[in-house]
Amino acid sequence: MRQPVTVAGARLPAKPILVPVLIAINVAVFALTAVQAGSIPGNSASALFTDFALWPILVAGGQWWRLITAGFLHIGLIHLAMNMIALWVIGRDLELLLGRVRFGAAYLLSLLGGSTAVFLLGDELQPVAGASGAVYGLMGGIAIAALRLKVSLRPVLVVIALNIAASVVIPGISLLGHIGGLVVGVIATAALVYAPRERQVLIQAGALAALLVVLVAMVVTRDLQFGNLVCFGSGEETRCGRLGG
């Protein structure tokens, strides 16, 4: 007897696994930064935060890992709690619908999409951190899933609208990262749930790979605009300069 699958082609798992794992990783990283800084509200003063947060100027200087690692750092307990609650509420259903591998790919692409938007258009000297880009990608993804399944979009759209409003009103929150993650999450999830049944996995993989290539191309293009910038050291000892300059 053929096992039923979702519209994304995933077999229904008994329960979500990636969502609690992602939450555990984010909480553990936050705890480590708080211990290093000796302060929960001032955790961003830790060495770990300084070395892995998204500073566009440092990414341009060769520290590209910050585009991903920044998505596992948070500034203060409220920032962490807001993102983890949203991840828990939205992520569980989306993981069940997409399947673990597809969900993980959509999550990471959304995270990279948020970071790419900040790198392209943000203040090059302003540090950014948080899982918000990935979480907003899940918000966009759940909206697309609701559209595909023909269920009411109103609750999802209200949540997205409220969170975007909070991004504008609350100081220190990166609206660029949120919008970048949201757009990429919408595209990634649409590719997963609207792929035709014939060669579904191949089409899904190709679409996600193409999206990754586009994001990487954007990052490389922006990096070239900075010129021959190189950064050395870490934390307050970091120094940047141009080769031949």
For the chain, the domain total comes to 1
Regarding predicted confidence, which is higher, 237 or 200? 200
Predicted confidence (pLDDT) per residue in 199-234, tens digit:
999 999 999 999 999 999 999 999 988 877 667 665
Q: In this structure, is the dihedral angle defined by the CA atoms of residues 153, 95, 67 and 34, taken in order, positive or negative?
A: positive
Residue 61 burial (C-beta neighbours within 10 Å; 0-12, 13-18, 19+): buried
In a domain, 5, yes or no: no
Predicted confidence (pLDDT) per residue in 43-96, tens digit:
999 999 999 999 998 998 889 999 999 999 998 898 898 889 889 988 999 999
At residue 190, does pLDDT exceed 70? yes
- For the chain, what is the mean pLDDT? 88
In a domain, 2, yes or no: no
Task: Work out the average pLDDT over 156-162.
Answer: 73
* Band of pLDDT at residue 180, cut at 50, 70 and 90: very high
In a domain, 234, yes or no: yes
Residue 18 tokens read as 């990636």
Q: What is the pLDDT of residue 133?
A: 93
Q: How far apart are CA 10 and CA 95, in angstroms?
A: 10
- Annotate 47-84 with DSSP letters as a single string: HHHHHHSB-HHHHHTT-TTHHHHGGG--SSHHHHHHHH
pTM for the whole structure = 0.90
Q: Which residues of 125-143 are buried (b: 16+ CB within 10 A; e: fewer)?
A: eebbbbbbbbbbbbbbbbb
At residue 239, does pLDDT exceed 70? no
How much of the chain exceeds pLDDT 70, in percent?
87
Active site residue 178: yes
CATH of the domain at 208: 1.20.1540.10
132, 152, 167, 174: which one is catalytic? Answer: 132
Backbone φ and ψ for 214, nearest 5 degrees, come out as -60, -45
Cα atoms found within 13 Å of the Cα of residue 198, Cβ hemisphere only: 0
Q: Which of 13-17, 103-107, 165-169, 192-196 has the lowest mean pLDDT?
A: 165-169
Q: What is the pLDDT of residue 171?
A: 55
Q: How far apart are CA 68 and CA 71, in angstroms?
A: 6
Predicted confidence (pLDDT) per residue in 133-156, tens digit:
999 999 999 999 999 998 877 777
In a domain, 10, yes or no: no
Residue reference for tokens 């035709």: 196
In a domain, 12, yes or no: no
In a domain, 4, yes or no: no
Q: What is the pLDDT of residue 124?
A: 83
Task: Work out the average pLDDT over 106-114.
Answer: 97
* Band of pLDDT at residue 241, cut at 50, 70 and 90: low
At residue 29, does pLDDT exceed 90? yes
Residue 141 tokens read as 């993804």
Q: What is the residue range of 68's domain?
A: 18-242
At residue 175, does pLDDT exceed 90? no
In a domain, 33, yes or no: yes
Q: What is the pLDDT of residue 158?
A: 74
**Cα 203 off chain centre by:** 23
In a domain, 177, yes or no: yes
44, 79, 115, 178: which one is catalytic? Answer: 178
Task: Work out the average pLDDT over 162-167.
Answer: 69
Active site residue 79: no
